[in-house]
Structure 1
Amino acid sequence: MAAGSRWIDLLDPTREELVHESPVDLHWSAFERLLTPAPDRSPARPTLEGHGSYVFGVLLVPIAVPAEDRIFYQEVDLVLTPEVALTIRKTPPGEEPFSIDAIQEACDAHGAPSAGLVVYHLVDEVAERYLDLLDAVHLEIDEVEAGIEEWPSVRIRKRLAELRQDILGIRRTLSPTREAVRRVVDDRVDVDGEEVFDRPLELSFSDAYDKLLHATESLDVARDLISSARDYHQSRIAQEQNDVVRKLAVVASLLLFPTFIVGVYGQNFDHMPELHWQLGYAFSWAIIVVTTFAQLAFFRWKKWI
């Protein structure tokens, strides 16, 4: 790093470790926030904001687990001064912590990067992860769309509901991440009135911001695709119900004429010529058979059966 600049990385630090490694006197609320374990649900709101002599930040790295149809977040908090970048990685319950290998490799490529450049590479990695996450979500949507014709309705409804919840969860973290990076691009994040990110670095943050914008657009497309898949599934169910109703109507219609004929000849009147006709019984059956086959031919012609 540049003269006087260094990067300190802590993994699930204790209070004593944080006090020892902190480059500045942190406000008590920021200090307690850094010590708060990563939650199992409802992840923290991402932010990058100036706190007088330092910049305080919270970033969430989204991770998709396609084999288990779920998403979780790796939290990375940071404290930044012009000379020091302190990152605090928090291990999610039951998960692995965020790996800094890619960040370290990117920083080493610059020889002696500034503290602000460490934050940029971290933000850029988060933006890339969001793009990867949205790609995984689109693949899941494609899988559901392909399964609409074959999967049971219960499975389709459950998977669409899960994807919708995933989309809402991603939006709750992506939007504040994009706004936090936007503050850096607009030069609204400083330390004691001094810029902590120089102009070339702000332009680099613009690239990360563009990636987050692209992720937002991809998120909107995913939401529309889920809505389209849900509408198609509902229309398919309605069509199946129409088919059932049509078949029931065919069955009812087939039974209507025989019921009518039997009802007519079942009346207890003496003056009914067919009652004393030798072929009356066969005649009634002939009428039933002819009307039934005529209806079947008609329904087949109308493609109702």
Structure 2
Amino acid sequence: MTKTRTHKHKKHTGQIPGTLVYTGEKSDKEFYVECFDYTKETIEESILIDIEDAVNYKETDSVTWINVEGLNYTKEIEHIGNQYGLHPLVLEDIVNTTQRPKIDEYDNYLFVVLKMLYYDKEEKIVIEQVSMVLGKNYVLTFQESEGDVFGTIRDRLRHANGRIRGLKSDYLLYALIDAVVDKYFSIIETLGNKIEDLETELFAGHSREGINIEVQQLKREILKVRRAIFPLREIINRIEKGEHPLIYKRTITYYRDIYDHLIQVSENIDIYREMIWSLMDMYMTTISNKMNEVMKVLTIIATIFIPLTFIAGIYGMNFDNIPELHYKYSYYILWGIMLMLFLGMLYYFKKKKWL
């Protein structure tokens, strides 16, 4: 049965620019909005039942993080976007889960799209799009589904760990991006362990059934991770070298640290990518060596039986005047000659190390 592939970009064909069309998988999850509003001394954590309440945090002196889960609720997202003055094309990119990681700069906010990676219960890589909007005193994040890598950020906000509650919203954006990048390291480490395990197995000469499928799956995973991570370097580079008024000079150093981490992750990805290609070559070499071993054994067997078959063919002919035909010990002599030929050839093959 042939599997039909769906193309998510077709959903945008003929649409007016700025039209919100969710391109991800439909979910039964309810629309969920959590809010952290904090200063250095205080913090308020709440779940926003009424999305109208989100606009109350736009012009406060405190810093606010509003996290939205459920990109299939396009009307609610459009309403929040209108409250915060987001451009229609920004809202379109938020619900377009195939959007390439990027950064757009506007007069009073920054819009960042990146990919959040983690493993699910079946040990498969999940790539989820996260959109972030940085304003003067707020950060909006939009996720496709529940579950993320921001648990440590929530704990730091609740317990005032580190400097996160003492700095502005640009530092909060840094902390959120840094949490995503830190998760990249664990993803890369797991992929590296899988590749090394397969490499060890193939070096040992093992080629169990299905190992080629595992190599191909790892190859696809590496390519998916590479496509998700590499564009983020450009984003951080633009933040680091840009002069947007929402990014203060004191936080540029922290963004530079993210860039260094991304360089390290990228180098590891390139290394593992080369290792994957080497694994494929190694697998083909292992299969070829096994085939050669089989062909060598069959060739030796055929070579041994060629002279024996020749002798049997000569004395199997129905001529009356074969000299040895009526000799009393001909049968035993013939067996002796054939046995000597067999043993002699085995000795010769052993001496040549063909066996």
The question of whether the paired residues in 2 share the 8 Å contact of 1:60 and 1:73 is answered with yes
Structure 1 alignment gaps of length 5 or more: none
Q: Provide the rounded CA distance (Å) in 2 between the counterparts of 1:105 and 1:74.
A: 22
Q: Provide the rounded CA distance (Å) in 2 between the counterparts of 1:48 and 1:275.
A: 96
Task: Choose which of 99, 105, 111 in structure 2 pairs with 1:56.
Answer: 111
Aligned position for 1:239: 289
Distance 1:58 1:274, change over 3 A: same
Q: Provide the rounded CA distance (Å) in 1 between the counterparts of 2:150 and 2:313.
A: 85
Task: Choose which of 62, 65, 83 in structure 2 pairs with 1:7.
Answer: 65
Q: Provide the rounded CA distance (Å) in 2 between the counterparts of 1:205 and 1:112.
A: 17
Superposition deviation, residue 282 in structure 1? 2.1
Aligned position for 2:122: 68
Superposition deviation, residue 4 in structure 1? 5.1
> C-alpha deviations, 1:220-265, integer Å up to 9, x for none?
1111222222222221111111110110011101111111112222
Counterpart of 1:68 in 2: which secondary structure? coil
Task: Choose which of 72, 82, 86 in structure 2 pairs with 1:26.
Answer: 86
Supply the RMSD in Å over aligned alpha carbons.
2.4
Superposed, 1:242-261 pairs within 5 Å as 242-261=292-311
Distance 1:228 1:159, change over 3 A: same
Task: Choose which of 87, 104, 112 in structure 1 pairs with 2:166.
Answer: 112
Aligned position for 1:83: 137
Structure 2 alignment gaps of length 5 or more: 1-38, 41-60
* Matched AA of 1:224: E
Superposed, 1:132-211 pairs within 5 Å as 132-148=186-202, 149=204, 152-187=207-242, 190=244, 195-211=245-261
In the alignment, does 2:342 pair up with 1:292?
yes
Counterpart of 2:142 in 1: which secondary structure? strand
Aligned position for 2:181: 127
* Matched AA of 2:69: L
Counterpart of 1:10 in 2: which secondary structure? strand
Q: Provide the rounded CA distance (Å) in 1 between the counterparts of 2:87 and 2:177.
A: 24
* Matched AA of 1:238: S
Task: Choose which of 265, 271, 278 in structure 2 pairs with 1:228.
Answer: 278
Aligned position for 2:31: none
Q: Provide the rounded CA distance (Å) in 1 between the counterparts of 2:298 and 2:150.
A: 64
Distance 1:69 1:146, change over 3 A: farther
Distance 1:251 1:62, change over 3 A: same
TM-score norm. by structure 2 comes to 0.74
State the identity as a percent: 26
Counterpart of 2:328 in 1: which secondary structure? coil
The question of whether the paired residues in 2 share the 8 Å contact of 1:106 and 1:121 is answered with no
Superposition deviation, residue 151 in structure 1? 5.8
Superposition deviation, residue 106 in structure 1? 4.1
* Matched AA of 1:83: N
Q: Provide the rounded CA distance (Å) in 2 between the counterparts of 1:137 and 1:266.
A: 65
Aligned position for 1:214: 264
* Matched AA of 2:173: V
Query: Whose helix fraction is larger, Structure 1's or Structure 2's?
Result: 1
Q: Provide the rounded CA distance (Å) in 1 between the counterparts of 2:315 and 2:205.
A: 49
The question of whether the paired residues in 1 share the 8 Å contact of 2:308 and 2:338 is answered with yes
Q: Provide the rounded CA distance (Å) in 2 between the counterparts of 1:100 and 1:222.
A: 27
* Matched AA of 1:82: K
The question of whether the paired residues in 2 share the 8 Å contact of 1:8 and 1:21 is answered with no
Q: Provide the rounded CA distance (Å) in 2 between the counterparts of 1:30 and 1:266.
A: 90
> C-alpha deviations, 1:110-141, integer Å up to 9, x for none?
23321111110011111111111100101111
Q: Provide the rounded CA distance (Å) in 2 between the counterparts of 1:289 and 1:127.
A: 72
Q: Provide the rounded CA distance (Å) in 2 between the counterparts of 1:280 and 1:170.
A: 76
Distance 1:186 1:33, change over 3 A: same
